[in-house]
Structure 1
Amino acid sequence: MLWNARPVHPRVMEFGRFVVYILASRRYGTLYIGVTRDLVARLEAHRNGAVKGFTRTHRVHRLIHVEYFSTAVEAIAREKQLKAWKHWWKVQLIEQRNPYWVDLSDRL
């Protein structure tokens, strides 16, 4: 596999890391998967409606899963892999680390 997810707490994210994240509308609800270098700024853009499209239309704003990568290639490969997964597989991944679907954005 091309990706190497490192389970790092969001507070210790190092500058220059690439982030694959999953947002949810609610528990077991609509999911959005994205990749960025600046997760805080990206979340703010999603929540303020600055990003037209899926997250604004479906009100997908709860940060429920985060993975960090050293390179853009690894992060994009993981994002594509997760987007290809069935919904239930994504739910299982989320619940391994965040069983109550707590919004992780306050830990950034």
Structure 2
Amino acid sequence: TQNLISRFKSHNSLGKKGFTTRYRPWFVIWIEFYKTKAEAVSREKFLKSGKGREWMQKHIYDY
């Protein structure tokens, strides 16, 4: 997203139904910045893959 604050506001308080409402509150545990949308989409696809989930278990879930 280009506006993290508004994205979280919509997930945590604006939505009345849907996937994100069941897992409230949402909070930030990791942020990465990219120069292009293509780089960000590529990284997101990796993180949603098996190897990406392994990376997250090793680097992020320890916090």
TM range (shorter): 0.7 to 0.9
TM-score, with normalisation over the residues of structure 1?
A: 0.47
TM-score by length of 2: 0.73
CA contact (8 A) 1:49 1:56 kept: no
Three-state SS of the structure 1 residue aligned to 2:60 is helix
Q: Which residue of 1 aligns with 2:50?
A: 85
The offset of 1:60, in angstroms, is 5.3
Q: Where does residue 60 of structure 2 map in the other structure?
A: 94
1:45 aligns with 2:43: no
Is 1:54 aligned to residue 52 of structure 2? no
Secondary structure at the counterpart of residue 66 of structure 1:
coil
Which amino acid in the other structure matches residue 60 of structure 2? I
Task: Select the structure that is richer in strand.
Answer: 1
How big is the shift at 1:49? 4.3
Higher relative contact order (CA 8 A, sep 6+): 1
Aligned length: 62
Which runs of no fewer than 5 residues in structure 1 stay unpaired?
1-35, 101-108
RMSD: 2.3
Larger radius of gyration: 2
